Amino acid sequence: MSPVWNPDDVPPPPAQPITAAGWLRVLWRGGLLIALILSCLLLLLLVRLVERPLYGLRRPLTPHITQFVCRSAFVILRMPYRMTGSLMTEPGAVVANHASWLDIFTLNARKRIYFVSKSEVAGWPGIGALARATGTVFINRDRREARAQTALFQARLKAGHKLLFFPEGTSTDGQRVLPFKSTLFAAFLSDELRDTLHIQPVTVVYRAPDDVDEPSFYGWWGDMGFGPHVLKVLAARRQGSVEVIYHPPLCAADFTHRKALALACEAAVRSGMPALIA
């Protein structure tokens, strides 16, 4: 992942040595999370053997397993989770700011959604397999494939899927909302989708633990290693919290251009960030 701001202006958090008690928390929490994920992945794959031939693209059963895992993750971490606003019932997509790998758990915990991700993720060890099993939509960020992407989105939306993507294009320190890239919004303004599609902006706000002087504690960006960041979160004596704010859905038909739609979604997401966060 590449930083999109000057790393001299926003330096990565300094690495803090993990204490003996911290390592015990890593083993306890990490062990429970791994056991939960692997056992539920096996269950999901077994259920999918029946679900796929009966329902095709539709997934009426397996998303409940994914939600159970994601909700349970916050119980294991002992990390308070708060949701405000109403979940969208209309067919369409969800857009959110992107701060961390934790977003996968955060955004799946209360809403059955399917992530839209760059195609490279499919080949990542471990994460790629999990993404494929849970129905992630993989795309190439290439305008020449816009027509194929529109057809793919349309098929998934017709199957009742709520697609989620991160228009910032990268994760951040969780203290800001970057300008939204408008490229993917073009697919939602196609003749096939615009009259029925709604897009719900969502703001994800992470608050650091009270005993940590590091507002960006949960942010994962730039050249930060995945493993060390996971260990830091697992080792925390006390966890902070996460708040997910669901804003009113926007009707795609109300917009004539992808840039206008992207700006409207960005403004809604930005409005949910606390005043103390840039």
For residue range 214-268, list pLDDT tens digits in order.
Answer: 889 999 887 788 889 999 999 999 999 999 999 999 999 999 999 999 999 999 9
Mean pLDDT of the residues in the chain? 87
pLDDT at 278: 43
pLDDT at 165 over 60: yes
From the CB of residue 100, how many other CB atoms can be counted at a distance below 10 Å?
24
Distance set, CA 62 to CA 42, 57, 68, 131, 170 (Å) = 11, 12, 10, 13, 28
pLDDT band, very low/low/confident/very high, at 1 (cuts 50, 70, 90): very low
pLDDT, mean of residues 139-160: 77
pLDDT at 160: 83
pLDDT at 135: 87
pLDDT at 142: 66
DSSP tag of 33: H
pLDDT at 159 over 90: no
pLDDT at 197 over 70: yes
Q: What are phi and psi of 232, to 5 degrees?
A: -60, -45
pLDDT at 134: 87
pLDDT band, very low/low/confident/very high, at 187 (cuts 50, 70, 90): confident
Measured CA angle at 128 (ends 126, 132), to 5 deg: 120
Its pTM stands at: 0.90
pLDDT band, very low/low/confident/very high, at 11 (cuts 50, 70, 90): very low
pLDDT at 7: 42
pLDDT at 10: 52
Any idea how long the chain is?
278
**Half-sphere exposure (CA, 13 Å, Cβ side) for 12?**
15
pLDDT at 268: 97
Q: What is the DSSP string of 206-234?
A: EE--TT---TTTT---TT--HHHHHHHHH
